[in-house]
Amino acid sequence: MMLRFDSNGSRASIGCGLLLLFLGIVLLSPFVGWLISLLTDLLGWILIVVGLIGVVVGVISWMSGNRRAD
């Protein structure tokens, strides 16, 4: 199997440069700040709901557990 690579690698450096340029523009835009704040708020609410479900399931399993006669 023979692979052919460019000797100077100019296409790879242009592609990486354009990718870094695009990521920099996206990260500096106000949309990213809004998106990050929305995702952190959403993650917070998801964690609260999952925590409440865990507490409720734990209490139910504790209350319905086998009772020992001491």
Tokens encoding 70:
């001491």
- What is the Cα–Cα distance from 65 to 59, expressed in whole angstroms? 10
Who has greater pLDDT, 37 or 66?
Answer: 37
- What is the Cα–Cα distance from 24 to 26, expressed in whole angstroms? 5
Tokens encoding 6:
């460019």
The pLDDT-based confidence of 3 (bands split at 50, 70, 90) is low
- What is the Cα–Cα distance from 50 to 56, expressed in whole angstroms? 10
Domains of the chain by residue range: 30-63
pTM of the model: 0.53
| Confidence at residue 46, expressed as pLDDT on a 0 to 100 scale | 94
Taking only the tens place, the pLDDT of each residue in 8-45 is 556 677 788 888 888 888 778 888 888 888 889 999 99
